Amino acid sequence: MSILFSPIELGGLRLPNRVVVSPMCQYVADNGKATSWHLIHLGGLAVSGAGLLCIEATAVEPDGRITPGDLGLWDDETEAALKHVVDEVRRHSGIRLAIQLGHAGRKASSEVPWKGGQQIALADGGWITDAPSAVATKDGEELPRELDREGMIRIRDAFVAAARRAERLGIDAIELHCAHGYLLHEFLSPVSNRRTDEYGGTLANRMRYPLEVYDAVRAVWPKHKPLGVKVSATDWIDGGWDVAQTIEFAKALKTRGVGWIDVSSGGISPRQKITPGPGYQVPFASQIKEASGAAVFSVGLITDAQQAEAIVASGQADAVAIARAMLYDPRWAWHAAATLGATVEAPPQYWRAPPQKHAAVFGEIAHGAR
């Protein structure tokens, strides 16, 4: 029996399998509002056979967008636009839906990747960004504004407000973005956090604000719905955030009942030195899982069914989160299930799609419908 295609409980949420569609920024929102592209993109992934579909990084306030095209959930207009997408996905798919809430911090005000991804100058429509300290991501960029307590409370409350909106939308789970060099990761990392108050210096101080945000969101998010956290396990920089510190952060989250920890890495600085390869981030997930006892998702060049099966079957992670491989093959979970002799959910309109040798991949009822 395939472990990858066995059920898993995350808090009060039961997933039919352990394949997660990672949140993937699309950079085509209209002032934060979801568009027809989001309906096409998420609609296709909603019938992928995965157990959980996570909506892309969604900014909790306009200045928290990575790019002007980022999705947002900060007012009635952005909520209504996303509601249309969520409602249509729900109409045709029973997939469980999560949303990743985040704030880009000092990496905000950037161009979309296909236009170079560089910081947008103020004269060209950019904006002053927020950060733990007035330290730019790289030389030559506009310095971010160091957040005072009022600004930190404003952003914390924006996370809370976005969580309330996500609940109204009927979202099943939230993932807080504490990775990839964005605001909450910036507070964690000594590379970007140079503060001398109670939010900087020691590990406990640097963890304080991300944990405050987590606690505030948890307080308003329904108890039966999981609240996960995405982390960068290491900055890949000497003297930066590392696995040992991530484990302490994970332990603090575990005591708070975290639904899962989604383990990625990097993003804090262009000085990072990464040598990527198949499954290169899996050891981080394994260490964090073993040390903290929290459920973990593993990411990073996981492309093959047997590879994914081995990761969860060996206990290195509880689930795998697939991103680029899912874009390249939106039926990745179908094909993985067929390879591993498992079944997945699919709409009846597609029941006749598999070749005869894999006809049972949608279950016996679908098989009989051929």
Closest to 190 (Cα-Cα) out of 178, 205, 177, 180: 205
- DSSP H helices, the chain, are 36-45, 76-92, 149-168, 183-188, 203-220, 243-255, 282-292, 305-313, 324-328, 332-340, 364-368
Decide if 198 contacts 253 (C-beta within 8 A): no
Quick check: 9 and 24 in contact, CB under 8 A?
Answer: no
Q: Characterize 44-54 residue by residue with b for buried, 16 or more Cβ atoms within 10 angstroms of its Cβ, and e for exposed.
A: ebbbbbbbbbb
- Count CA atoms within 13 Å of residue 132 on its CB side: 29
The answer to whether 187 and 199 have CB atoms below 8 angstroms apart is yes
Helix (H, G, I), strand (E, B) or coil at 90: helix
Q: Are 105 and 183 spatial neighbours (Cβ–Cβ below 8 Å)?
A: yes
Residues with a known catalytic role:
182
DSSP states of 188-255 as a string?
H-TTT----STTSSSHHHHHHHHHHHHHHHHHHS-TTS-EEEEEES--SSTTS--HHHHHHHHHHHHH
Rounded to 5 degrees, φ, ψ at 38 are: -65, -35
Q: Which two tokens stand for residue 149?
A: 């307590």
Residue type, 37: W
What distance lies between CA 55 and its chain's CA centroid? Answer: 8
**Please, are residues 163 and 217 in contact by the beta-carbon 8 Å criterion?**
yes
Residues 6+ apart with CB under 8 A from 137: 106, 107, 119, 181, 192, 268, 269, 270
Pull the structure tokens for residue 185. Answer: 């990761």
